[in-house]
Structure 1
């Protein structure tokens, strides 16, 4: 394998981040907004305040399809991180188990229809799924879109256990 070839990364693991922690670490005004949201778009690469370019488009897409979503930032603090390359960097999403049944179809439609991604394009995303108990599990994927089915399968498996 050459240095330019990327190896796919797929991981499902127990996560420590909870909604209570997100609310506790947010400003009072943001905490009030995110308390009841079904999906929260988190800053990219675990940064405190930078989001991938296109995060607001993703937010609009989800809200237009009746997913009660929000960005983990105030308007004043929102900053975008622009990555230049052919890959799609969707970011990190904190997801309530309530929206899991819709998530696979929404993600698929967004990636293929809205972004016009091709099967050999690269994609990076992380989902932190909140179980009804409040504990969380994460699904991380970095690789070719043609292998994204792994993520959809993991989501479906989690639907049955949450």
Structure 2
């Protein structure tokens, strides 16, 4: 491994983030739009109020493909963080376990077919799956696209538990 090679990050751990907490803590105009959503796109890793460039494309793709999604920001508050480089940054998603199978298929299609991700390219994302009891488990991945399947499989297994 050379000094230029990135170390892969892959973690699965409990999270305190839930749909209820997000909705309860959101301003009224945002909270009203989040009810009935299956997926919420959260601000980017390490940023409280910025989303990765391309978040609106991801949002549109998910909704066009049957995944009822919203962004955790009002139109006025939404701002993108422009990162440049070969890495694909998708951001953070909280997902209700009932839509996990559909979500995994659609997000995989988005990464491989729409973004044309190459196996040796890098991708960074975080999926948080909330089960029926309100317990959330986060799957964080930052590494080669060719290894992304282990993160997708981890998310699928969280959906299967319910």
TM-score, shorter chain, exceeding 0.5: yes
Computed over aligned residues only, the root mean square deviation of the Cα atoms, in angstroms, reads 1.0
**Equivalences for 1:11-160 in 2 at 5 Å?**
11-160=11-160
Report the alpha carbon displacement of residue 69 of structure 1 after superposing the two structures with TM: 0.3
Quote the Cα distance in structure 2 between the aligned partners of 1:36 and 1:47: 25
SS in 1 for 2:45: helix
Structure 1, residues 81-118: CA drift from partner, whole Å, max 9, x if none? 01000000000001011210112211111001100110
TM-score, normalised on structure 1? 0.96
Quote the Cα distance in structure 1 between the aligned partners of 2:105 and 2:8: 22
For structure 1, the residue ranges without an aligned partner over 5 or more in a row are none
Q: Which moved more, 1:118-127 or 1:15-24?
A: 15-24
Moved over 4 A (4+): none
SS in 2 for 1:45: coil
State whether residues 98 and 159 of structure 2, in contact with CA within 8 Å, keep that contact through their aligned partners in structure 1.
Answer: no
Structure 1, residues 18-65: CA drift from partner, whole Å, max 9, x if none? 112111221101011112210000000242210000000000001101
Structure 1, residues 101-149: CA drift from partner, whole Å, max 9, x if none? 1122111110011001100000000001110111100000000000011
Q: Which moved more, 1:22-31 or 1:71-80?
A: 22-31
For structure 2, the residue ranges without an aligned partner over 5 or more in a row are none
Quote the Cα distance in structure 2 between the aligned partners of 1:10 and 1:130: 19
Quote the Cα distance in structure 1 between the aligned partners of 2:67 and 2:103: 9
